[in-house]
Amino acid sequence: MNIQNTDKMKPGEARSAGPTMAEIIARDPNQPPKELLAQAYEFMGDDDIPYDRYTSKEFFDLEVEKMWPKVWQWVCRLEHIPEVGDNYVYDVGPYSILVVRHGDGPEDIKAYHNSCLHRGTQLKPSYSSGNSPKLRCPFHGWEWNLDGSVSEIPCRWDFPKVTDEEFALPEVRVEIWGGFVFINMDPDAAPLEDYLEVLPAHFANWPLEDRYITLHVQKILPCNWKAAQEAFTEAYHVKETHAHLVPYCSGENAQYDVFGDNVTRFHHPFVHPDPSWTAPQTEQELLDACGMGPEGAELPEGMSARAYVAQHLREAIGGAVGVDLSHVSETEMLDSIEYHLFPNMFLFPGISLPMIYRFRPNGMDTDTAIFDLIFLGLKAPGQETPEPPEPYWLGVDDSYTTVPELGDMLGPVYDQDTSNLDMQQKGFKASVAKPGQTLGNYQEIRLRRIDATLHKYLDA
């Protein structure tokens, strides 16, 4: 049933023309896990959201003081630190956290503030990773064991007040989930499992610990970190920003869910035209347009393009990896299924679009952000985890099309996604007559939820 906007509806009840995501899924003989059938939308008000949250130094400083030190954030994958002595530095705003593997056990991982207890020098450089048997400060050589205990203090005779007990490295909370190492700087924070809300139950269907990094791209974006991530929280922009996708990617039929303060989702169909694409299109033409099937493929009589492409990808991806995908639903094979974990992590459990995103401030700059884009490939059962590839680092003006692995399908799409951000950040500041943004009640609900959760921390 199509729910059109009528005068009788309450705000937030209206939906686009065309089938809902649930109706598209219902046509699939391979039904997905029940978690993909869940729906969780509630109207959250329609007040404008002020632009100064993206532009004001005071707002940025408040996030630094009250939000970043209180939330769970992922640092790296377990495969970044497989050997004893491996370390990985996570920088966010002024904070720098050093994650270290100190033993062979699966959870023998500790995290420290990346700052020497002598005169503050970073123990490891920002944004670095490496291996060292001890943690030695490059300035005067104070040194700690991997478990944080004091190893050596040169000229110790000069520091009678320094005791081993008081000068062990202060620890930051660490927990592991889905193959990701998470930290929280707040010693009193609730456990990660509580913070993750529905994610453990939903991702029981898609164990990310069994996947591995096939590609990692880091890019500086010319806008506040929140504007950068919000560009990825809705499919409303597809029509305008990715106009070439409209014949086979239905941004307007996406489903939006808010599962709690920390977790939201969108789910939008591929190999399905947007309602704004009114040109008559046969299933064969849809297959040709989407470019996701084999070149020149002819659709068997009576088969939908979605069913055909899903089957093609089951065979192509399953065959290449050595896993049986015959039972996997069309929506998991084809669609953009995107969860967000507050404050800055996106997880895509789908098979053909298996991404992880992270957005964070670039140092203390209100106006730029760092975007980590990772692809998590499937592993065959029992397959060793390959070493993670070196990240590509792209500057503000570098194109995603320079990353060969993104190909000419995804490279241009990421360029389109990031091409509006400079103008948006400038436009926030130029909006003298209107102090805030006006959000769609349904399609932009995730942005509103993320803002409300941010204020939970800032207003505490």
Choose the binding region for ligand FES from 13-21, 139-147, 158-166, 268-276 (rule: CB under 6 A).
139-147
CB 287 within 8 A of CB 305: yes
Which CB, 121 or 431, lies closer to ligand FES?
121
Nearer to ligand FES, 116 or 305 (CB): 116
Q: Which stretch binds ligand FES (CB under 6 A): 4-12, 140-148, 157-165, 304-312?
A: 140-148
Q: Which residue lies nearer to ligand FES by CB, 21 or 123?
A: 123
Residue 121 binds which entry of ligand FES, Fe ion, none, with Cβ cut-offs from 5 to 8 Å by kind?
ligand FES
140 binds ligand FES (CB under 6 A): yes
Among positions 417, 437, 441, 446, the unique one binding Fe ion when judged by CB under 5 A: 417
Comparing CB distances to ligand FES, the nearer of 162 and 353 is 162
Q: Based on CB atoms, which residue is closest to ligand FES, 122 or 229?
A: 122
Is residue 312 involved in binding ligand FES (CB under 6 A)? no
- Residue number, nearest CB to Fe ion: 417
Q: 79 or 415, CB closer to Fe ion?
A: 415
Query: CB-wise, 194 or 240, nearer to Fe ion?
Result: 240
Q: Rounded CA gap, 67 and 450, in Å?
A: 12
**Chosen residue from 4, 5, 139, 243 binding ligand FES by CB under 6 A:** 139
Residue 142 binds ligand FES (CB under 6 A)? yes
Residue 137 makes contact with ligand FES by CB under 6 A = yes
CA dist., res. 288 & res. 59, Å (int): 48
Q: Is 230 in the site for Fe ion (CB under 5 A)?
A: no
Q: By CB under 6 A, how many residues form the interface with ligand FES?
A: 9
* Shortest distance in whole angstroms from residue 415 CB to Fe ion: 10
**442 binds ligand FES per the rule CB under 6 A:** no
Secondary structure in 3-state letters for the chain: CCCCCCCCCCCCCCCCCCCCHHHHHHCCCCCCCHHHCCCCCCCCCCCCEECHHHHCHHHHHHHHHHHHHHCCEEEEEHHHCCCCCEEEEEEECCEEEEEEECCCCCCCEEEEECCCCCCCCCCCCCCCEEECCCEECCCCCCEECCCCCEEECCCHHHCCCCCCCCCCCCEEEEEEECCEEEEECCCCCCCHHHHCCCHHHHHCCCCHHHEEEEEEEEEEECCCHHHHHHCCCCCCCHHHHCHHHCCCECHHHCEEEECCCCEEEEEECECCCCCCCCCCCCHHHHHHHHCCCCCCCCCCCCCCHHHHHHHHHHHHHHHHHCCCCCCCCHHHHHCEEEEEECCCEEECCCCCCCEEEEEEEECCEEEEEEEEEEEEEECCCCCCCCCCCCCEEECCCCCHHHCHHHHHHHHHHHHHHHHCHHHHHHHHHHCCCCCEECCCCCCCHHHHHHHHHHHHHHCC
Per-residue x/- track, 86-125, ligand FES (CB under 6 A): ------------------------------x-xx-x----
Neighbours of 320 (CB within 10 A): 11
**144 lies in the binding site for ligand FES (CB under 6 A):** no
- Binding region for Fe ion (CB under 5 A) out of 129-137, 319-327, 357-365, 416-424: 416-424
**Residue 417 interacting partner from ligand FES, Fe ion, none (CB closer than 5 to 8 Å by kind):** Fe ion
Residue 134 interacts with ligand FES (CB under 6 A)? no
Nearer residue to ligand FES within complex by CB, 140 or 173: 140
Binding site for ligand FES (CB under 6 A): 116, 118-119, 121, 137, 139-142
Binding site for Fe ion (CB under 5 A): 417
